[in-house]
């Protein structure tokens, strides 16, 4: 026997759909919203009536995952609330399609590499992915960029379809792509402005360098990874006699040693300061110097400074104007150098060159092994290498450790502006507020200016050329910048003012800057991209600064920080008044959901299975800033809530079509029954609280108590009044119907930001016509003022509920059905509760199927007395 089999019941003709089918209803509503221009921004309305969102442009590199659904929905929930407050919503969508992720995806998808020396092929078509790296086709820059554009356009279509299906109330006329002409123009315009203001400079200096991608990277894109390294104790000779031992994890940098340092107060080494040491293998004389950054407790207390092991080396090299002995090349191999010539000094050229000859051309890791071998043979290795855990810096997308390589790069001056940038960060209201700490900590810890140039292809070029001297060497000190009105320009194809194309690359001619901007150099401008800062002053004034920047916490150091920086430099303003920081979706084992772990979930299937409202419900349950465990059972709860909304609404509306429907439509003045007033009183409080909590970005709290209240409505209030609403007593029925009418409209509106589809569907059954608001999403957020009835006593509802509960408990204990008759009901309580109960007695007795003759109500002397209910069931 099927446990859940329901006996077939004839379907009454209610005038409402029999059951809720979200898979059909939701897409239909999406189309309706689009047709009715529900989400359109109105440029005619003033700024103070407008709510501006600086939507995160998702990286276009494959597919969106459940984490995107989570955070974008949270933003949409808040936006929908603002729309119901009557705000003119500016809610754009951008696509972050420039930069490395796209390049990588296109390389793999089509089996190609960009090779700028290869000529352009008209109508080029890729032959598809390649198994072996050797088989990758080398194609021109232009062909490569075309592939990038085609691919991202396709991805963006899929992204948009998903966002629509999820019900994000975006104005789809307001879109941008970070590689599109508008963004290129804005980014280049930004560069010109920074250039004019002196906030940007180019310099040839050691910079963080990724040897795999062969590009510079910024501090913000680095991460530490723990590695198993080795301490190598290496003996140095002192000129004029003596020796000492240093400890290093990077012996392959020995040839790059420029000094040896110890703490100024370190008694062990004090006597050596001012003398010179001779490096092992290469016999290079290097000064022994005091430095506070040498920690007497660490290693042997004395250490070598190389060009370059870490940022401290860079600092020391710069401060003391020491020679640059670069040995690591751009590809991560040791470059050939000559000892005895130029900067590489040696007391024994022949030995030094012989040793180095065995290292040149090796990758750093190979060179390390070889160096240890040579040191051991020379007798300079003290003991054996000792294992140690060390944190090594990597580019977040890279697989090999970063190196410091001197190259020419463009930098934005942030170090000297730290105090101002900290202050700007504090002007933004962060949600949750502790996220400001992350921002502050990051800014305080910065030790490099922001490197914005990348030696890549798919990105925004610098609008800059350099004059070439008579030998054809570029003069970097006098860059030629493009004129603002010519933007966007590509210096590889466009010609600077006063030159002709024929002079490109010729002595006395010019060359274009080869690099492209870091993708953050563009995305740091998103509020200004949307506002039209570089194109339309009037529009800009209406849309900037934005009201809300939603984003995830791991990119506070990049996206939030860079945006704050640019806004300050360009406009001396904050980019937005509020930053809403969303949490992550974590897998049930508390790990991060990531593609590499293979535990990412694609949203399309979930939408089909559970409905958009269900996924949105799950997103709405999580507070800002808080990580959420991926749990499908929550989708089920959300789906059930939508179904319940459907059924309860149908039922409530049916009541209103009952006997009370005769005559004028019941209104607030008809709410006369104390039970109804009590319920309305409760709702008033709920409605006011919801507005307050929403305004402080605590939408999750709203969903929580609205949901609880809604189930309370279904299980208790509706059960208590349904008999009366259907009864022949006109006034009592009208009171119930008026209360139900308002209640339903309130719940639909309170749920609308979270579950836009089911609420819109139900709204259309009755309220679209009765309120003159075709969409619930443009209905006014409910307020207590809508219900100008006399104050109710909430105790009436509470007491009625408690008594009804006692009756239900008894029936459950006796294993009887809910409608089983009650022969005797004895209630004992204080005078206050007794009075309250009397006011709702009829409803309670009907809902509990209680025989009126069997009722006794005993009043205790004090209100301290607890409510006690005794129930005796009758015969069938």
Partner RNA sequence: GCGCAGUUAGCUCAGCGGUAGAGCAAUCGCCUUACACGCGAUGGGUCAUAGGUUCGAAUCCUAUACUGCGCACCA
- Residues from 534 through 563 that contact RNA (CB under 7 A): 553-554, 557
- Nearest approach, Cβ of residue 610 and RNA (Å): 10
Q: If binding is defined by CB under 7 A, does position 273 make contact with RNA?
A: no
Q: If binding is defined by CB under 7 A, does position 693 make contact with RNA?
A: no
User: Judged by CB under 7 A, which of 112, 372, 405, 648 binds RNA?
Assistant: 648
Q: Of 251, 234, 248, 217, which Cα lies nearest the Cα of 401?
A: 217
Terminal-to-terminal C-alpha distance of the chain: 26
Q: If binding is defined by CB under 7 A, does position 437 make contact with RNA?
A: yes
Q: What b/e sequence results for 123-138 when a residue is b if at least 16 CB atoms lie within 10 Å of its CB, and e otherwise?
A: ebeeeeebeeeeebee
- Nearest approach, Cβ of residue 38 and RNA (Å): 27
Residues of span 806-825 touching RNA by CB under 7 A: 808-809, 811-813, 815-819
Q: If binding is defined by CB under 7 A, does position 312 make contact with RNA?
A: yes
Q: If binding is defined by CB under 7 A, does position 445 make contact with RNA?
A: yes
User: Judged by CB under 7 A, which of 447, 493, 602, 856 binds RNA?
Assistant: 447
Q: Which stretch binds RNA (CB under 7 A): 97-105, 274-282, 338-346, 647-655?
A: 647-655
User: Judged by CB under 7 A, which of 486, 640, 665, 778 binds RNA?
Assistant: 640
Q: Provide the pairing of β-strand 222-238 with 93-95.
A: unpaired
Q: In whole angstroms, what separates CA 559 from the centre of its chain? A: 10
Residues of span 789-808 touching RNA by CB under 7 A: 805, 808
Q: If binding is defined by CB under 7 A, does position 368 make contact with RNA?
A: no
- Cβ atoms of 786 and 641 within 8 Å: the answer is no
Q: Both tokens of residue 437? A: 């700490």
Q: If binding is defined by CB under 7 A, does position 503 make contact with RNA?
A: no
Q: Which stretch binds RNA (CB under 7 A): 138-146, 150-158, 672-680, 712-720?
A: 712-720
- Cβ atoms of 457 and 116 within 8 Å: the answer is yes
Binding pattern for the stretch 619-638 against RNA, x by CB under 7 A and - elsewhere:
----x--xxxx-x-x---x-
Residues 6+ apart with CB under 8 A from 422: 440, 443, 444
Q: If binding is defined by CB under 7 A, does position 301 make contact with RNA?
A: yes
Residues that contact RNA, how many (by CB under 7 A): 85
Can the peptide bond before residue 334 be classed as cis, meaning omega within 30 degrees of 0? no
Q: State whether residue 240 is helix, strand or coil.
A: coil
Provide the strand spans (E) within 639-718.
Answer: none
Residues 6+ apart with CB under 8 A from 82: 51, 89
Q: Which stretch binds RNA (CB under 7 A): 2-10, 56-64, 338-346, 734-742?
A: 2-10
- Cβ atoms of 431 and 578 within 8 Å: the answer is yes
Q: In whole angstroms, what separates CA 173 from the centre of its chain? A: 23
Q: If binding is defined by CB under 7 A, does position 384 make contact with RNA?
A: no
- Cβ atoms of 118 and 124 within 8 Å: the answer is no
Q: If binding is defined by CB under 7 A, does position 865 make contact with RNA?
A: no
- Got the DSSP string for 764-785? HHHHHHHHS-S-GGGSPPP-GG
Residues of span 198-237 touching RNA by CB under 7 A: 219, 223-224, 231
Q: If binding is defined by CB under 7 A, does position 348 make contact with RNA?
A: no
By C-beta, is 149 or 627 nearer to RNA? 627
By C-beta, is 280 or 309 nearer to RNA? 309
User: Judged by CB under 7 A, which of 39, 83, 250, 333 binds RNA?
Assistant: 250
Residues of span 654-673 touching RNA by CB under 7 A: 654
Q: If binding is defined by CB under 7 A, does position 828 make contact with RNA?
A: no
Give me Rg for the CA atoms of the chain.
Answer: 36
Q: Both tokens of residue 805? A: 């509960």
Q: Of 644, 684, 867, 857, which Cα lies nearest the Cα of 786?
A: 684
Q: Provide the pairing of β-strand 628-629 with 576-582.
A: unpaired
Residues 6+ apart with CB under 8 A from 833: 795, 799, 863, 867
Q: Of 622, 555, 634, 545, which Cα lies nearest the Cα of 585?
A: 622
- Nearest approach, Cβ of residue 646 and RNA (Å): 8
Q: Both tokens of residue 822? A: 């009650």
Q: Which stretch binds RNA (CB under 7 A): 32-40, 646-654, 731-739, 855-863?
A: 646-654
- Return the DSSP state at 88: E
Residues of span 393-412 touching RNA by CB under 7 A: 393
User: Judged by CB under 7 A, which of 113, 644, 691, 824 binds RNA?
Assistant: 644
User: Judged by CB under 7 A, which of 127, 150, 441, 608 binds RNA?
Assistant: 441
By C-beta, is 179 or 825 nearer to RNA? 825
Q: What b/e sequence results for 482-505 when a residue is b if at least 16 CB atoms lie within 10 Å of its CB, and e otherwise?
A: beeeebbbbbeeebbeebeeebbe
Q: If binding is defined by CB under 7 A, does position 704 make contact with RNA?
A: yes
By C-beta, is 436 or 776 nearer to RNA? 436
By C-beta, is 248 or 326 nearer to RNA? 248
Q: If binding is defined by CB under 7 A, does position 434 make contact with RNA?
A: yes
Q: Both tokens of residue 176? A: 């941008």
Q: If binding is defined by CB under 7 A, does position 299 make contact with RNA?
A: yes
Q: State whether residue 147 is helix, strand or coil.
A: helix
Q: If binding is defined by CB under 7 A, does position 391 make contact with RNA?
A: yes
Q: If binding is defined by CB under 7 A, does position 587 make contact with RNA?
A: no
Q: If binding is defined by CB under 7 A, does position 719 make contact with RNA?
A: yes
- Nearest approach, Cβ of residue 19 and RNA (Å): 6
Residues of span 45-104 touching RNA by CB under 7 A: none
- Return the DSSP state at 53: B
By C-beta, is 503 or 609 nearer to RNA? 609
């Amino acid at each position: 026997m099927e446990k859940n089999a329901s006996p077939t019941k004839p379907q009454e003709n209610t005038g409402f759909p029999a059951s809720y089918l979200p898979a059909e209803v939701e897409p239909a509503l999406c189309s309706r919203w689009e047709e009715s221009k529900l989400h359109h921004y109105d440029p005619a309305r003033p700024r103070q009536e407008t709510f501006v969102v600086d939507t995160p442009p998702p990286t276009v590199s494959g597919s969106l995952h459940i984490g995107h659904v989570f955070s974008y929905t949270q933003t949409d929930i808040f936006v929908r609330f603002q729309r119901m407050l009557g705000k003119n919503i500016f809610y754009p969508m951008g696509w972050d399609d420039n930069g490395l992720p796209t390049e990588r995806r296109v390389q793999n998808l089509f089996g190609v590499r960009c090779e700028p020396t290869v000529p352009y092929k008209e109508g080029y078509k890729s032959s598809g992915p390649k198994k072996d790296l050797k088989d990758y086709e080398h194609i021109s820059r232009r062909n490569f960029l075309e592939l990038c554009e085609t691919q991202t356009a396709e991805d963006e279509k899929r992204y948009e379809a998903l966002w629509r299906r999820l019900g994000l109330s975006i104005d789809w006329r307001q879109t941008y792509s970070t590689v599109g002409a508008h963004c290129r123009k804005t980014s280049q315009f930004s560069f010109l402005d920074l250039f004019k203001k002196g906030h940007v400079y180019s310099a040839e200096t050691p910079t963080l360098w990724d040897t795999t991608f062969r590009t510079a990277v910024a501090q913000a894109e680095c991460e530490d990874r723990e590695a198993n390294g080795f301490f190598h104790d290496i003996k140095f000779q002192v000129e004029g006699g003596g020796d000492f031992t240093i400890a290093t994890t990077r012996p392959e940098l020995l040839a790059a040693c420029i000094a040896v340092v110890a703490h100024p107060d370190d008694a062990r080494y004090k006597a050596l300061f001012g003398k010179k040491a001779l490096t092992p293998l290469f016999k290079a004389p290097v000064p022994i110097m005091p430095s506070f950054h040498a920690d007497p407790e660490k290693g042997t207390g004395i250490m070598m400074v190389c060009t370059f092991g870490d940022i401290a080396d860079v600092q020391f090299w710069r401060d003391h104007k020491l020679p640059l002995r670069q040995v690591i090349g751009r590809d991560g191999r040791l470059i050939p150098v000559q000892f005895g010539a130029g900067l590489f000094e040696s007391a024994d050229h022949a030995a030094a060159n012989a040793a180095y000859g065995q290292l040149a051309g090796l990758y750093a890791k190979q060179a390390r092994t070889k160096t240890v071998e040579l040191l051991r043979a020379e007798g300079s290795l003290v003991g054996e290498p000792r294992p140690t855990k060390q944190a090594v810096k990597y580019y977040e997308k890279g697989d090999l450790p970063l190196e410091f390589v001197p190259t020419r790069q463009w930098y934005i001056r942030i170090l000297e502006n730290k105090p101002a940038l900290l202050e700007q960060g504090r002007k933004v209201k962060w949600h949750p507020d502790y996220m400001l700490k992350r921002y502050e900590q990051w800014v305080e810890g910065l030790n490099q200016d922001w490197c914005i140039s990348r030696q890549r292809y798919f990105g925004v070029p610098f609008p800059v050329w350099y004059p070439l001297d008579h030998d054809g060497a570029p003069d970097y000190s006098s860059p030629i910048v493009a004129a603002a009105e010519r933007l966007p320009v590509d210096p590889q194809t466009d010609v600077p003012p006063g030159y002709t194309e024929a002079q490109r690359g010729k002595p006395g001619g010019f060359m274009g800057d080869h690099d492209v901007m870091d993708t953050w150099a563009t995305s740091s401008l998103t509020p200004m991209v949307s506002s039209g800062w570089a194109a339309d002053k009037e529009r800009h004034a209406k849309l900037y600064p934005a009201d809300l920047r939603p984003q995830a916490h791991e990119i506070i150091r990049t996206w939030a920080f860079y945006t704050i920086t640019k806004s300050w430099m360009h406009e001396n303003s904050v980019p937005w008044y509020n930053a809403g920081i969303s949490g992550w979706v974590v897998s049930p084992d508390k790990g991060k959901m990531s593609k590499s772990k293979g535990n990412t979930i694609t949203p399309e299937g979930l939408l089909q299975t559970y409905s958009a409202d269900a996924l949105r419900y799950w997103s709405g349950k999580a507070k800002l800033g808080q990580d959420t465990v991926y749990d499908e059972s929550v989708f089920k709860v959300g789906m059930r809530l939508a179904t319940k909304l459907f059924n309860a609404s149908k039922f409530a509306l049916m009541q209103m079509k009952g006997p009370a429907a005769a005559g004028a439509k019941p209104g607030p003045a008809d709410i006369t029954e104390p039970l109804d007033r009590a319920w309305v009183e409760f709702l008033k409080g709920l409605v006011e609280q919801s507005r307050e909590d929403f305004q402080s970005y605590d939408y999750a709290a709203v969903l929580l108590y609205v949901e609880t209240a809604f189930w309370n409505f279904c299980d208790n209030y509706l059960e208590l009044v349904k008999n009366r609403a259907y009864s022949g007593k006109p006034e009592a029925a009208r009171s119930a119907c008026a209360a139900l009418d308002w209640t339903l409209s309130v719940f639909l509106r309170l749920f609308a930001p979270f579950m836009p589809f089911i609420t819109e569907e139900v709204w259309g059954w009755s309220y679209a016509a009765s309120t003159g608001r075709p969409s619930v999403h443009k209905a006014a957020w409910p307020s207590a003022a809508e219900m100008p009835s006399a104050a109710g006593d909430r105790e009436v509802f509470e007491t009625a509920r408690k008594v009804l509960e006692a009756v239900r408990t008894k029936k459950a204990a006796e294993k009887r059905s809910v409608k089983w008759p009650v022969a005797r009901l004895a209630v004992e309580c204080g005078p206050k509760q007794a009075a309250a109960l009397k006011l709702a007695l009829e409803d309670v007795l009907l809902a509990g199927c209680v025989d009126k003759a069997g009722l006794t109500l005993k009043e205790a002397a004090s209100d301290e007395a607890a409510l006690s209910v005794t129930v005796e069931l009758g015969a069938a």
